[in-house]
Amino acid sequence: MSKPKSPTNQYQQEEDAFFVRRKPDPIPFTKFLYNSTEGTVLGRNATSWAKIGTFYMIFYCVLAALVAVCMWVFFQTLDPRTPKWQLDQSLIGTNP
């Protein structure tokens, strides 16, 4: 036999009924590329594209600067006149 629904359980089911999400209607690919009614390209407006472009320009400039600093520090540790490893101290030793 089924148990009768309690008032709190019934209220919870009615409350959850309002939060059911439906699958949105499919958008044609050409409308996704350029939506003239909303003025969007690939789902984003001009200010959104500008923010993304600015972020990535700054991000890659900082990344390039970090690589450049690391290379500069690396080259400061090398002596341009003599190799670091010679003869017996090298990996191959005196036998090439």
pTM of the model: 0.56
CA distance 8 to 12: 6
3-state secondary structure of 35: strand
CA distance 37 to 31: 9
Q: What does the CA dihedral 33, 34, 35, 36 come to, rounded to 10 degrees? A: -170
CB 13, CB 20: distance < 8 Å: no
Q: What is the mean pLDDT of each run of 10 residues along the chain (96 residues)?
A: 58 64 82 87 92 98 98 90 76 69
- pLDDT at position 71 is 96
CB 24, CB 30: distance < 8 Å: no
